[in-house]
Amino acid sequence: MDYQKVLEKIYEGALPLMGVGKQADYIPALAEVNPDQFGICIVPVGDDAVAQVGEAQTRFSVQSITKVFMLAMCLSMEGDNLWTRMGKEPSGTSFNSLVQLEYEHGKPRNPFINAGALVMADVLISRLSNPEKEFISFVREMSGSFVDYDHEVARSEERQAYLNTAIANLLKHHGNIRNHISDVLHFYFLCCSVEMNCCELAQAFRPFADHRRPFSFAGVELTVSQVKRINAIMQTCGFYDEAGDFSYLVGLPGKSGVGGGIAAVNPGTYSVAVWSPRLNAKGNSVMGLKALELLTTETAESIF
| Model confidence pLDDT, tens digit, residues 89-119 | 998 777 878 888 998 999 999 999 999 999 9
Number of domains in the chain: 2
Statement to judge: residues 72 and 178 lie in one domain: yes
Q: What phi and psi, each to the nearest 5 degrees, are found at residue 183?
A: -70, -40
- How far, in Å, are 30, 136, 277 from residue 22 at the CA level? 11, 29, 7
Reported confidence tier of residue 170, pLDDT bands at 50, 70, 90: very high
What is the signed CA dihedral for 196, 247, 47, 136, rounded to 10 degrees?
Answer: 30
* Percentage, residues of the chain above pLDDT 70: 100
* In a domain? residue 304: no
Statement to judge: residues 169 and 91 lie in one domain: yes
Statement to judge: residues 55 and 120 lie in one domain: no
Query: What pLDDT is attached to residue 211?
Result: 81
Statement to judge: residues 111 and 216 lie in one domain: no
Q: What phi and psi, each to the nearest 5 degrees, are found at residue 78?
A: -100, -25
Asked whether residue 35 carries a pLDDT value surpassing 90, the answer given is yes
* Full domain range(s) for residue 20: 3-63+195-299
Closest CA to 183 of 219, 130, 116, 248: 130
- Across the chain, what does the average pLDDT equal? 95
Query: What pLDDT is attached to residue 196?
Result: 98
Query: What pLDDT is attached to residue 152?
Result: 95
Reported confidence tier of residue 136, pLDDT bands at 50, 70, 90: very high
Query: What pLDDT is attached to residue 159?
Result: 92
The residue from 163, 192, 221 where one domain ends is 192
Statement to judge: residues 50 and 166 lie in one domain: no
Reported confidence tier of residue 199, pLDDT bands at 50, 70, 90: very high
Query: What pLDDT is attached to residue 232?
Result: 97
CA–CA separation, 272 and 202 (whole Å): 5
Reported confidence tier of residue 262, pLDDT bands at 50, 70, 90: very high
Statement to judge: residues 268 and 295 lie in one domain: yes
Query: What pLDDT is attached to residue 209?
Result: 97
Query: Residue 233: what residue type?
Result: I
Check if the beta carbon of residue 302 is closer than 8 Å to that of residue 294.
no
Query: What pLDDT is attached to residue 27?
Result: 87
Asked whether residue 247 carries a pLDDT value surpassing 80, the answer given is yes
